[in-house]
A and B are shown apart, each in its own frame.
Chain A
Amino acid sequence: MIQETIIETDLVTKIYDSNGLTVKAVDEVSIGVKAGEFVGLVGPSGSGKTTMLAMLATLLRETAGKMLIDGQDLSSMSDKQRTKFRREKIGFTFQANNLVPYLTALENVELMLRLNKNNGGKSRARAKELLARLGLEDRLDNLPAQLSGGQQQRVAIARSLIHNPSVVLADEPTANLDTERANQVVRIFADLIHEEQRAGIMVTHDLRMTKYVDKVIQMVDGRIARVITDRADINLLAGTSEFDRLDRSAPNKSKDLIFPQAPPLRVPVPTFGGAD
Chain B
Amino acid sequence: MVAYLGLKEVWRNKGRFFLFSLVIALIAILVLFTAGLGEGLASANKEYLEKLDAELLTFQSDTGYSTIESRIEFRKVNRIRRLPGVADAGPIAFSNVKLVLDNGPEPMDVSFIGVEPGRPGAPPAVVGDDLRSKSAKVVLIDRRVAEDAGVGVGDFITIKSTQGTDDELYSLRVTGITGGQQFFFRPSIFVSLPVWDLYRPKADPGAYSSQPAVNVIAIRADNPAAIATIPATISAVLDDLETTDIKTAYESSPGYSAQQSTLNTIKGFTFLIGTLVIGGFFQIQTLQKIPQIGMLKAIGTPNRVVAAASILQIVFVTVFGVLIGGIVTFGLTLGMPSGVPILFTGTSILIATLSLLLIGPIGGMVSIRMALKVEPLSALGM
Interface set of A (CB-CB < 8 Å, partner B): 50-51, 53-54, 57, 59-60, 80, 83-88, 90, 92, 94-98, 100-103, 107, 111-112, 114-115, 143, 159, 171
Q: Are A57 and B298 in contact (CB under 8 A)?
A: yes
Q: Which residue among A54, A112, A143 has the maximum number of chain B CB atoms within 10 Å of its CB?
A: A54
Q: How far is the CA of A100 from the CA of B305 in the complex (A)?
A: 15
Within 8 Å CB of B379, what residues of A? 59, 92, 94, 97
CB distance from B279 to the nearest CB of A (A): 22
| CA A205 to CA B380, docked complex, whole Å | 14
- Extra A-B contacts (7), CB below 8 Å, given A85-B300, A98-B295, A100-B295: A51-B382, A54-B380, A57-B380, A59-B376, A59-B382, A115-B299, A171-B381
Q: Mark B258-292, 1 if CB is under 8 A from A, else 0.
A: 00000000000000000000000000000000011
Please pick, from A54, A112, A143, the residue contacting B299 in the complex, using a CB distance under 8 A.
A112
For the complex, give the distance between the alpha carbons of A88 and B8 in Å: 23
- Smallest CB-CB separation from A98: which chain B residue? B295
Contact status B300-A171, CB under 8 Å? no
Expressed in whole angstroms, the Cα–Cα distance for A248 and B92 within the complex equals 105
Instruction: Name the distance in Å between B151's Cβ and chain A's nearest Cβ.
Output: 63
Contact of B377 with A by CB under 8 A = yes
B8 touches A103 (CB 8 A): yes
Instruction: Determine the distance from Cα of A103 to Cα of B9 in the docked complex, in whole angstroms.
Output: 8
Interface residues on B, range: 20 to 34
Within 8 A of A (CB), among B204-262: none
Within 8 Å by CB of B1, from A92, A101, A114, A171, lies A114
Q: Assess A87 versus B377: contact at CB under 8 Å? Given A102-B13, A115-B1.
A: no
Interface pairs A-B: 3 shortest CB-CB: A87-B300, A86-B300, A102-B12
- A50 B382 Cβ-Cβ under 8 A: yes
**What are 22 sample pairs from A and B whose C-beta atoms fall under 8 A apart?**
A54-B377, A54-B380, A54-B382, A59-B380, A83-B297, A83-B300, A83-B301, A86-B298, A87-B300, A90-B300, A94-B298, A94-B379, A94-B380, A95-B381, A98-B295, A100-B5, A102-B8, A102-B11, A102-B12, A114-B1, A115-B1, A143-B12
Closest to B291 in A: A97
